[in-house]
Amino acid sequence: MATKQLQDFSLSNIWYTIRSWPRVLKLLWDIHKGYLSILILINILQAVVPVLSLLATQNLVNQVMVAQKTGDFSLVLWGFGFLIGIGLCNELLNIIENYCNSIFKTILSNTLGYKIMEKSTQLKLADFEDPNIQDDLKRAQMEANYRIFEIFSQMIAFVSGVVTLISAVSVVAVWKWWIAVILMITPFISFISFFRLGQERFFVQYKRASRFRFSWYLFFLISKDNGFREIKLFGLEKYILNKYNKINETFLTEDRNLAKKQVKISLTFEFLDHIVIGSIILFILWTTFIGKMLIGNLVGMVQAVNLTYSTSNTLIHNVLTLCENNLFIQQLFHYLDLTTKSKSDSLKDIELSTIESIEFRNVYFQYPDMDRPALNRISFTLKKGETLALVGENGSGKSTLVKLITQLYDDFQGDILINGISIKSIDVTELRRKIGVVFQDFVQYEMPVRSNIGFGDLDRMDDDQALLDAAQKAGIQSVIEQMPKRLETQLGQWFDESLQLSGGQWQRLAIARAFMRKADLYILDEPSSFLDPKAEMDVFNRFKELVTDKLGIFISHRFSSVRFADKILVLDQGEIVEQGTHRELMALDGLYAELYQLQVSSYIMEKDKQTNQEIYM
Ligand X SMILES: Nc1ncnc2c1ncn2[C@@H]1O[C@H](COP(=O)(O)OP(=O)(O)OP(=O)(O)O)[C@@H](O)[C@H]1O
Q: Please report whether residue 441 would count as binding ligand X according to CB under 6 A.
A: no
Considering the complex, what minimum distance in angstroms separates the CB of residue 331 from ligand X?
25
Phi, psi of 349 (to 5 degrees): -120, 0
Looking at beta carbons only, is 398 or 513 nearer to ligand X?
Answer: 398
3-state helix, strand, coil in the chain (%, to 5): 65, 10, 20
Phi, psi of 343 (to 5 degrees): -55, -35
- What is the CB neighbour count within 10 angstroms for residue 20? 18
Looking at beta carbons only, is 397 or 504 nearer to ligand X?
Answer: 397
The H or E element that residue 428 is part of is: helix 428-433
C-alpha to C-alpha distance for 58 and 299, rounded to whole angstroms: 6
Looking at beta carbons only, is 388 or 453 nearer to ligand X?
Answer: 388
Considering the complex, what minimum distance in angstroms separates the CB of residue 145 from ligand X?
30
Looking at beta carbons only, is 50 or 397 nearer to ligand X?
Answer: 397
Looking at beta carbons only, is 373 or 448 nearer to ligand X?
Answer: 373
C-alpha to C-alpha distance for 406 and 403, rounded to whole angstroms: 5
Query: Contacting ligand X (CB under 6 A), which of 198, 300, 397, 448?
Result: 397
- What is the CB neighbour count within 10 angstroms for residue 393? 13
The H or E element that residue 438 is part of is: strand 435-438
Q: Please report whether residue 374 would count as binding ligand X according to CB under 6 A.
A: yes
Query: Contacting ligand X (CB under 6 A), which of 154, 308, 314, 400?
Result: 400
Looking at beta carbons only, is 16 or 367 nearer to ligand X?
Answer: 367
Amino acid making up residue 467: L
C-alpha to C-alpha distance for 348 and 533, rounded to whole angstroms: 42
Query: Contacting ligand X (CB under 6 A), which of 394, 602, 611, 612?
Result: 394
Residue-by-residue DSSP string for 33-47: HHHHHHHHHHHHHHH
Render the burial of 43-54: b for 16+ CB within 10 Å, e for the rest: bebbbebbbbbb
Q: Please report whether residue 556 would count as binding ligand X according to CB under 6 A.
A: no
Q: Please report whether residue 132 would count as binding ligand X according to CB under 6 A.
A: no
Query: Contacting ligand X (CB under 6 A), which of 129, 415, 446, 575?
Result: 129
Looking at beta carbons only, is 322 or 390 nearer to ligand X?
Answer: 390
Looking at beta carbons only, is 296 or 574 nearer to ligand X?
Answer: 574
Considering the complex, what minimum distance in angstroms separates the CB of residue 125 from ligand X?
8
Considering the complex, what minimum distance in angstroms separates the CB of residue 117 from ligand X?
22
Q: Please report whether residue 392 would count as binding ligand X according to CB under 6 A.
A: yes
Query: Contacting ligand X (CB under 6 A), which of 175, 206, 367, 530?
Result: 367
Amino acid making up residue 198: G
Looking at beta carbons only, is 308 or 556 nearer to ligand X?
Answer: 556
Residue of 453, 192, 448, 412 whose CA lies nearest to 320: 192
Q: What is the CA radius of gyration of the chain?
A: 36
Looking at beta carbons only, is 203 or 409 nearer to ligand X?
Answer: 409
Only one of the segments 19-27, 67-75, 396-404, 588-596 lies at the binding site for ligand X (rule: CB under 6 A); that segment is 396-404
Task: Give long-range contacts, CB 8 A cutoff, 24+ apart: 51-54.
Answer: 51/164, 51/167, 51/168, 51/171, 51/304, 51/307, 52/86, 53/83, 53/86, 53/87, 53/90, 54/168, 54/171, 54/300, 54/303, 54/304, 54/307
Considering the complex, what minimum distance in angstroms separates the CB of residue 524 from ligand X?
13
Q: Please report whether residue 396 would count as binding ligand X according to CB under 6 A.
A: yes
Considering the complex, what minimum distance in angstroms separates the CB of residue 401 from ligand X?
7
Site for ligand X in 474-513 (CB under 6 A): none
Is the backbone of residue 42 left (phi > 0), alpha (psi -120 to 50) or beta?
Answer: alpha
Considering the complex, what minimum distance in angstroms separates the CB of residue 376 from ligand X?
11
Query: Contacting ligand X (CB under 6 A), which of 12, 132, 245, 440?
Result: 440
How many residues belong to the site for ligand X (CB under 6 A)? 14
Query: Contacting ligand X (CB under 6 A), which of 395, 503, 533, 590?
Result: 395
Residue-by-residue DSSP string for 176-223: -HHHHHHHHHGGGGGHHHHHHHHHHHHHHHHHHHHHHHHHHHHHHHHH
Q: Please report whether residue 370 would count as binding ligand X according to CB under 6 A.
A: yes
What three-state secondary structure class fits 589?
coil
Looking at beta carbons only, is 202 or 506 nearer to ligand X?
Answer: 506
Only one of the segments 36-44, 328-336, 390-398, 486-494 lies at the binding site for ligand X (rule: CB under 6 A); that segment is 390-398
Residue of 315, 538, 354, 364 whose CA lies nearest to 435: 354
Residue of 375, 385, 373, 341 whose CA lies nearest to 571: 375
Q: Give the x-and-dash track for 75-114 against ligand X (CB under 6 A).
A: ----------------------------------------
The site for ligand X (CB under 6 A) is made up of 129, 367, 369-370, 374, 392, 394-400, 440
